Chains A and B, each alone.
Chain A
Amino acid sequence: MEELSAVNSEAVIDTRGLTKRFRGGQLAVDGLDLAVPAGSVFGFLGPNGSGKTTTIRMLMGLIEPTSGTATLLGRPVPRAAHSVLPEVGALIEGPALYGFLSGRDNLVRYDSADPAADPRTRRARVAAALDRVGLTAAGSKKAKAYSLGMKQRLGLASALLRPRRLLVLDEPTNGLDPQGMREIRSLVRELAADGTTVFLSSHLLDEIEQVCTHAAVMARGRLIVQGPVAELAAGARGRLVVTTPDTADAARVLKELGVTGLTVAEDRVTGELPPGDADLADLNAALVRAGVRVRSFGVERASLEDAFVALTGEGFDVAG
């Protein structure tokens, strides 16, 4: 925790021992110490039911923590929520709309609920937000006639009604088409370039890898790891991949050299590099000396997905 305290001074989201136990005893978030640095694009990862949405609801003042504290932009929530939240845009567990109102009127409604929003600029800001998410043409359509992706876009637009210092997005690309996802990614990059801190939860690891500078991983309500994305991915060791027609020989030689977890599939032999700094060149030379005909040789860099699975386990079943 030492290196975290240095970050905390400028943390946009900072929680200490944040805990939520629901009535009925379900421990949804357990002693969370999260520090989101200013200006970062922060990916919040975790399997289903790991407590991501519950954390976000506590940060937004929607539910009271059982214990622990949280600050947003340096001010305590939920106590100072009314002064912080105008500077925070949020998408929580999908969009929610008034089906009988047009997309534009939905945004007008949400903007009117913000006492810090200037009603004189409302029309213009609503139009700009619609434009930003590509909904200008559908702005007059009733929201009940929107598709899932259009609703998601409108939800994003409501988070962008005013310039924000922090955006909290719970699974923002849920339901979007590939173009929509790309647009959201470039939108997030754009916002981050303007200095907005973006905190986004997602299951799409390659998406996090593409846009996030930092990430945290939750499992069963606990924070497992947090830090810069590059470091997280580096944490999972890469795998050695050798392509050769002489797979049996290759596997034998590599095993002798300390490579573990060897698997052979068609003409590919993969395995985990031995701990310590085994020189790849030596491995390759040993293979060639043993008469193994090597077609290709290299290390596959671990993806964030590998790191994620290594941290949260392979199992598919949701923890109860």
Chain B
Amino acid sequence: MSRAETTVRQENPRARSPLWTLGLLRSELTTTFRRWRTLALLAVLAAVPVLIGIAVKIETGDGSPAGGGGGGDGAGPAFLTQITNNGLFLVFAALAATLPVFLPMAVGVVAGDAVAGEANAGTLRYLLVAPAGRTRLLLAKFTSTMVFCLVATLVVAVSALVTGALLFPLGEVTTISGTRIGFGDGLVRAVLIAAVVAASLVGLAAIGLFVSTLTNSGVAAMATTVGLLITVQILDTVPQLDAIHPYLFTHHWLSFTDLLREPLYWDEVLDNLGLQALYAAVFGSAAWARFTTKDITA
């Protein structure tokens, strides 16, 4: 937010009250979250933990332990077996299940549509002659996409917590290291993990925004962004490409499980955050360079 403010000051030297400068960001946020598409994406994200919770409940209804068949997403099964003992684990399981596909797809759709969708509808030209200022508008779009990353993650986490609390008992948390921590501590870890998961999406959001400045078709931008996501995830599984794996933005995504160790293990999490910041800087600059020089013909 402070970034948005300083840019506006640069663009318009006459002193403005914060109300003036934040108006565009607020408008951007309400516009994004009033779109039917955004709400549908959030509804799907909210439904995923509910489905996982119900599936686990049904499978364990006859007394047999859950797990094993919980899907191939790495850490998922480990958490699934714990859900019946502690509903809080549904939060971790749901984040692990949505991070590879549902969350980034939702972010790809929102980021890809951010500029291209407005160009497509023609509203972009009216925002620019208002005049929103190209840098200021792009910063507002970038910030609101970041906010969407956070909101989308929180929707999964909160839906999982509520479902977990309703269907399963809550209590002490057994960490991956085998030690036990109190429920309060566990809740703090859940918040921390949600924040890290949201931050994991920043790189993709920046890519999506850049792609969005390249075309006047919202659908094309969304498809390209989601296509890139899938390609990168495939590349990340090809052993021959070992050398480039550490630089793929999806590579460290599931490192958030390290935050369930005792003591906390930060190395890979920090690698992930650093990589996301790098992607945001590179693709954010590219988006800026493109958007501030582009002819608006739509």
Contacts and interface: CB of A to CB of B under 8 A. Distances in A.
Contact of B129 (A60, A100, A111): A60
A242 interface: no
A113 B131 CA distance: 6
A251 to B, nearest CB: 53
Contacts of B296: 57, 62-63
A85 interface: yes
Contacts of A114: 130-132
A120 B34 CA distance: 23
Contact of A96 (B19, B20, B26, B125): B125
Interface string B270-284: 000000000000000
A62 to B, nearest CB: 4
A114 B8 CA distance: 11
Contacts of B8: 115
Interface stretch (A3-11, A86-94, A189-197): A86-94
A113 B23 CA distance: 7
A119 B23 CA distance: 8
Contacts of A61: 128-129, 131
B130 A92 contact: no
B31 A88 contact: no
A158 interface: yes
Contacts of B35: 100
Contacts of A62: 125, 128-129, 295-297
A124 to B, nearest CB: 16
Given A64-B293, A109-B31, A86 B23 contact: no
A98 B297 CA distance: 18
Interface residues of A, number: 37
B8 to A, nearest CB: 6
Nearest to B293: A64
B177 interface: no
B121 interface: yes
Interface in B247-298: 293, 295-297
Nearest to A92: B125
Contacts of A127: none
Given A109-B31, A112-B27, A158 B126 contact: yes
B180 interface: no
B132 to A, nearest CB: 4
B133 interface: yes
B206 to A, nearest CB: 23
A110 B293 contact: no
Mostly helix, strand, loop or mixed at chain B's interface? helix
Contact of B130 (A63, A97, A99, A110): A110
A85 B129 contact: yes
A57 B131 CA distance: 13
Contact of A100 (B16, B36, B127, B130): B36
A96 B31 contact: no
Interface in B79-131: 121-123, 125-131
A234 to B, nearest CB: 36
B133 A82 contact: yes
A83 interface: yes
Contact of A57 (B11, B130, B297): B297
B24 interface: yes
A263 B128 CA distance: 54
Contacts of A119: 19-20, 23
Interface in B13-38: 16, 19-21, 23-24, 26-27, 31, 34-36
Contacts of B137: 113
A120 to B, nearest CB: 8
Max count, chain B CB within 10 A of own CB: residue among A86, A94, A99, A115 = A115
A101 interface: yes
Given A98-B31, A112-B26, A113-B27, A90 B20 contact: no
Interface string A134-168: 00000000000000000000000010000000000
A253 to B, nearest CB: 58
Contacts of B293: 64
Contact of A98 (B20, B121, B125): B121
Contacts of B26: 112
Nearest to B124: A96
Interface string A250-268: 0000000000000000000
A112 B23 contact: yes
A108 interface: yes
Interface in A55-109: 57, 60-64, 81-83, 85-86, 88, 90, 92-101, 108-109
Nearest to A161: B130
Interface of A: 57, 60-64, 81-83, 85-86, 88, 90, 92-101, 108-120, 158
